[in-house]
Amino acid sequence: MEKEKHITILGVLHIVRGSLVLLVGLIAFTFFVGIGSITGDTTAMGVLGLIGLIAVTFLGVLGIPSILAGIGLLKRQEWGRILALVVGFLSLIDFPIGTALGIYTILILLDDTIRPAFSDRTRVQPITVPQAPMA
């Protein structure tokens, strides 16, 4: 399989993983807020709502960089490659799926033959303003 296909697969996998993490966070938030509402106790609603908010925030912090890395990989941006490597290294501790994705990410994106596929398109091109002809 050629390297370009591996980059596309990695991009999709990072987007899917990040989306699933965000979905779990939203489900956890809904669960805790729902349990708090069922009790009818204002203290329980406040505490469980706070726990749900902390859960969705924590999982958002984990999921959003993975989604951004996937988008960057699909657009073949150098920042996406670097972010995917960081996410890949951090996901090594998330056994077993995160570990597999992390190893796959590291093996593909640290290969020297993959670098030409990424270009630094973040550089700003100078704007030239046409001058009006002098009469």
Distance from the first to the final alpha carbon of the chain: 62
Beta bridge partners of 77: 119
Q: Which amino acid is at 10?
A: L
How many other CB atoms are there within 10 angstroms of residue 38's CB atom?
A: 11
Q: Which helix (H) or strand (E) holds 27?
A: helix 3-39
Question: What is residue 1's predicted lDDT score, i.e. its pLDDT?
Answer: 59
Over residues 38-66, the mean pLDDT reads 93
Residue 93 has pLDDT above 70, yes or no: yes
Residue 49 has pLDDT above 70, yes or no: yes
Q: Give Cβ neighbours of residue 109 (< 8 Å, ≥ 6 apart).
A: 10, 81, 84, 85, 88
Question: What is residue 43's predicted lDDT score, i.e. its pLDDT?
Answer: 92
Q: How many CA atoms lie within 13 A of 70 on its CB side?
A: 18
Residue 15 has pLDDT above 70, yes or no: yes
Residue 114 has pLDDT above 70, yes or no: yes
